[in-house]
Amino acid sequence: MQLYALFMHKIPVGVLGASGYAGRELCSLIGRHPGLDLAFATANERSGEQIRLNGRSIQLIRTESAPLDSAALVFSSLPHGHSAAWVKKILDAGAKAVDLSSDLRPGHTEQQIVYGLTECRRAEVAEADVVANPGCYPTAILLALLPLLECGDVASGATISVSAASGTTGAGSTARTDLLFSEVTGDFRAYGVGNNHRHLPEMREFVRGTGSDAELLFTPHLLPVARGILATITVPLRRNIADPLALWKERYSGEPFIEVTESLPALRDVAHRNVVRMTAIKASGISTPTLVVLSAIDNLVKGAAGQALQNANLMLGLDEAEGLPH
Ligand SMILES: NC(=O)c1ccc[n+]([C@@H]2O[C@H](COP(=O)([O-])OP(=O)(O)OC[C@H]3O[C@@H](n4cnc5c(N)ncnc54)[C@H](OP(=O)(O)O)[C@@H]3O)[C@@H](O)[C@H]2O)c1
């Protein structure tokens, strides 16, 4: 397969955890990418199964059997807790790595690993051998907050309150009774209430890194849809901002995967696309100047596989947008 890739002038890449939701999405994006070739795809219990990719049949091999040195870059889409050790093996084999798990994200490791929130870490990602891909909620929340954090307009000592809802693929493909169709359909409920979700450490580190002393209060919810995240973020401000959307439009001008809109973002706008769609609206009727910022992403694309591929494109010297669905 590597010879085929070289003959076709394509760069060989591998995917660990290719039978999972994020890994499958990655394989599908790689299959349509003009510059990449899938050198191998691995699974755990489902190794030996075949997956169909754009007319090709790929056999899932055991992760332990992956020829890591046959790839220029390997995506690790393994569960958190299992991924970091494999990233080390990937680097030892001479390949670059993009880790989709939380293992190497800020707040989870002492190592200084580049945090692949592409729109604000572009230069570091392009130089990196290993990138920690952000979580799905953090991608939706931090990119929506970034223009405000960068201009220092969040009120000192503020609590930024985030209510966000995700489709069920966000929980991975391991069978769970509470995620059965008959449990989820027609329902809407919060989970992880109490401000201790696994994604908070990376979000807190990121906010602190911008110089803001604001705190986050994050409550996730489960939506009865397969994919998508909608985040509603309430931000107390230092001062009134006359035209809040102008700030977002200026910060994200020319960004291929950020959509700043007058209208309220919805999941149907972003499904199967590598975009974050966002808006900001002034809250009336309260004394503290406050903005309500909303953002929507597809958790499996911009929230996982798409952003991972965006980072990989930069790490491999390709056009950042190549092979990505707008
Ligand atoms: N789902 C999302 O929206 C999303 C978004 C951002 C980041 N992520 C991150 O991406 C990673 C994958 O998430 P996912 O939702 O795709 O999970 P998933 O559907 O549960 O898939 C996990 C993958 O890892 C394999 N695996 C499980 N245990 C393993 C082990 N002990 N050793 C080796 N392989 C093992 C599974 O193989 P078998 O199928 O053969 O068991 C499967 O291929 C996670 O770290 C997650 O936090 C997910």
Can you tell me which atom of ligand 1 is nearest the CA of 42? Answer: 43
- Tokens linked to 43: 């699974």
| 238-288 residue pLDDT tens | 999 999 999 999 999 999 999 999 999 999 999 999 999 999 999 999 999
pLDDT reported for residue 269: 96
In short, whether 289's Cβ falls inside 6 Å of ligand 1 is no
Instruction: Judge whether 136 counts as a catalytic residue.
Output: yes
User: Which residue lies with its CA nearest to atom 17 of ligand 1?
Assistant: 172
Say how far apart CA 100 and CA 104 lie, in whole Å. Answer: 9
Can you tell me which atom of ligand 1 is nearest the CA of 80? Answer: 45
Say if residue 6's pLDDT is above 90.
no
Say how far apart CA 189 and CA 200 lie, in whole Å. Answer: 19
| 81-97 residue pLDDT tens | 999 999 999 999 999 99
How many Cβ atoms sit within 10 Å of the Cβ of residue 158?
19
C-alpha 87 to ligand 1 mean position (Å): 14
Say how far apart CA 244 and CA 226 lie, in whole Å. Answer: 32
Average confidence score pLDDT of the chain: 95
pLDDT band at 54 (very low <50, low <70, confident <90, very high): confident
pLDDT reported for residue 1: 43
C-alpha 283 to ligand 1 mean position (Å): 39
Output helix, strand, coil percentages for the chain, rounded to the nearest 5: 35, 25, 40
| CB-based contact 106:201 (threshold 8 Å) | yes
| 113-131 residue pLDDT tens | 999 999 999 999 999 999 9
